[in-house]
């Protein structure tokens, strides 16, 4: 049998716990989860844990996005569509394959709201800026 590292078990448990505590209608990143779980920099591990987590746990995986607000799944893929669908059901809209973290981010959006958008500082108000829908790369 394979010896299981007890420390590793705690990591996974902590990570799952953090994911399970993401409030509906809010999203966060892999890195943020890793940090909250006590292991900053282990974003990759979060992805693995999420992928191996049994469905019975019913973790809100759809509320986990990349640091830039895009889904970890390829646009158009099965997972991508399902994630977008679930998020939409919670009032989180995905525009241009991306979620506005400054708006739906799980805490940490205060300074962003006060200092202005952090990621893509939309030059001017999006007064109907058609922003080409970037035909799938």
Q: Note whether 21 binds DNA by CB under 7 A.
A: no
Q: Which of 17, 21, 57, 68 binds DNA (CB under 7 A)?
A: 68
Q: Is 45 in the site for DNA (CB under 7 A)?
A: yes
State the number of binding residues for DNA (CB under 7 A). 25
Of the listed pieces 38-46, 87-95, 104-112, which binds DNA according to CB under 7 A?
38-46
CA distances from 59 to 35, 50, 124, 131, 134 (A): 18, 8, 38, 34, 31
80 binding DNA? (CB under 7 A): no
Residue 94 as a binder of DNA (CB under 7 A): the answer is no
Phi, psi of 12 (to 5 degrees): -60, -45
Stretch that binds DNA, among 29-37, 87-95, 109-117 (CB under 7 A): 29-37
* 7 φ/ψ angles, rounded to the nearest 5 degrees: -70, -40
Distance CA 134, CA 38 (A): 37
Per the CB < 8 A criterion, the answer to whether 106 and 26 are in contact is: yes
Does 44 bind DNA (CB under 7 A)? Our answer is: yes
Using a 10 angstrom Cβ sphere, with 0-12 exposed, 13-18 middle and 19 or more buried, the burial of residue 111 is exposed
Binding positions for DNA, rule: CB under 7 A: 8, 11, 29-31, 41-48, 50-51, 61, 64, 66-68, 72-73, 79, 120, 137
């Amino acid at each position: 049998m394979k010896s299981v590292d007890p420390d590793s078990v705690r990591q996974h448990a902590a990570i799952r716990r953090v994911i399970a505590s993401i409030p509906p209608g809010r999203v966060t990143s892999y890195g943020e989860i890793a940090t909250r779980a006590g292991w900053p920099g282990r974003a990759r591990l979060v992805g693995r844990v999420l992928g191996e987590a049994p469905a019975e746990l019913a973790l809100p995986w759809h509320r986990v996005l990349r640091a830039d607000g895009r889904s970890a799944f390829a646009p158009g893929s099965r997972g991508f569509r399902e994630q977008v669908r679930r998020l939409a059901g919670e009032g989180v809209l995905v525009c241009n394959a991306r979620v506005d973290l400054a708006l739906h981010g799980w805490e940490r959006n205060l300074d962003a709201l006060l200092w202005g958008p952090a990621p893509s500082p939309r030059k001017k108000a999006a007064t109907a800026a058609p922003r080409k829908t970037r035909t799938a790369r």
